[in-house]
Amino acid sequence: MRALHLISAALVSLTACADHDADVDRVGPGPVPDAGQSCNVDPDPKAQLPCDIAQILETRCQRCHQSPPKNGAPFPLLTYMDLFGDYGGPIYQAAYKAVKVDFMPYCAEGSSCAGTVPDGPVQPLSAEQKATLLAYLKCPQPAYDQACP
Residues within the interface to ligand HEC (CB under 6 A): 27-28, 60-61, 63-65, 71-74, 77, 91, 94-95, 98-99, 104-107, 117, 122, 125
What minimum distance in Å lies between the beta carbon of 26 and ligand HEC?
9
What minimum distance in Å lies between the beta carbon of 110 and ligand HEC?
13
What minimum distance in Å lies between the beta carbon of 51 and ligand HEC?
16
Residue 91 and residue 85 in contact, taking contact as beta carbons nearer than 8 Å: yes
Residue 52 and residue 143 in contact, taking contact as beta carbons nearer than 8 Å: no
The smaller minimum CB distance to ligand HEC, of residues 9 and 101, is found at 101
Q: At what angle do helices 127-137 and 51-60 cross, to 10 degrees?
A: 120
How far apart (Å, rounded) are the C-alpha atoms in residues 127 and 31? Answer: 23
